[in-house]
Amino acid sequence: MNDTVQTAVVGVTGYAGAELARLLLRHPRLKGKPPVFAGRVDEADAARGGVPLAEIHPELAGTPEVASLKQEPFSWELLLSRGVEVLFLATPHEQSREWVPEALSRGIRVIDLSGAWRLTVEANRAIYNFDDDGTDLAAATQAQAVYGMPELHRNQITGARLIANPGCYATSIILPLRPLVAAGLVELDHGIVADAKSGVSGAGKAATTKTHFMYAADNLSAYGAFTHRHTGELLEQIGLSPCDITFTPHLLPIPRGILSTIYLRFREPQTRANILKVYREFFANSPMVRLYDKALPQIQYSVRTNYADIGFQIANDSRRAVIVSCLDNLLKGASGQAVQNLNVLMGWPESEGLA
């Protein structure tokens, strides 16, 4: 176990970046050792040493430590001179494809919040259309990546050099489904339906025609049917084929939060007690998963926390089930899970700085 570590964050200007900064600045293991913040800085701001963090995110202002912090012009020399050991990348997929191999070559471990290194199957990665896919360097980098879901891959994360942080939708569906599929309880031939709804922050900070107020407010829209980038994560991490699951995401007119409703059929009749037993055994050492014994989760219960909430109901025929999963897309679906991965990586209590 390490007492502390020097971290760096690239991509602090976004929604996930803001949450990542907040969590790392308040993490008890990182007191007196704030992250290095680096990124794109224009010439005028570079002349003053960077952009003050309190200007980028005024909500973080109020402590002397934050007052002295800036987003500095990114360079590998900056990171190495500050002794950075773990680099968080809250950057676009393409940027992470370029920078992760470079960071690894310099001995810096990476927790990447993008989708650049999540997928091991070439057919699943094809949706990203990465220019470097198929090259020796990309293959060697992918071979080092561990899918950063501690509830599934805790042991591998401990010694990882590259942690590929999961997608938000994927987290909300993998966690409730993996235990049941792994136990052989789900009738896959019947098909699984995952109906997922996310707040607008899941689309990122840059406004689009479908995320500005006049489109999203008082509206609910489906998108990405059969084509969403997180589908490959579901297939690989749950152990499904494309015909086993239908996943459709929806845009909710709220700032943050995900609610996924999953419909499935069991191979044999099941009791509530048996399904609870499967879940409790699977998540016995997972402090960031909360199981609801009777009521179903709601977004308001998990938003602004790092918990993934799971609840379910079984039909009178004992064969059909509805599972509801909720989480905060910016925390357990992004930055909170990244810090959870840091805790596991460093041998710290998994929920430290999060619960």
Residue 76, by phi and psi: left (phi above 0), alpha (psi -120 to 50) or beta? alpha
Residue 150, by phi and psi: left (phi above 0), alpha (psi -120 to 50) or beta? alpha
Annotated catalytic, 168? yes
Nearest C-alpha neighbor of 7 from the set 110, 98, 156, 141:
110
Active-site residue identified among 18, 86, 138, 168: 168
DSSP, residue by residue, 202-254: GG-SS--TTTSHHHHTT--EE--TTT-TTHHHHHHHHT--GGGEEEEEEE-SS
Strand, coil or helix: 10: strand
The amino acid at 108: I
DSSP character for 268? S
CB neighbour burial string for 6-40, b if at least 16 within 10 angstroms, e if fewer: bbbbbbbbbbbbbbbbbbbbebebbeeebbbbbbe
Helix H or strand E segment including 147: strand 145-147
Residues with active-site annotation: 168
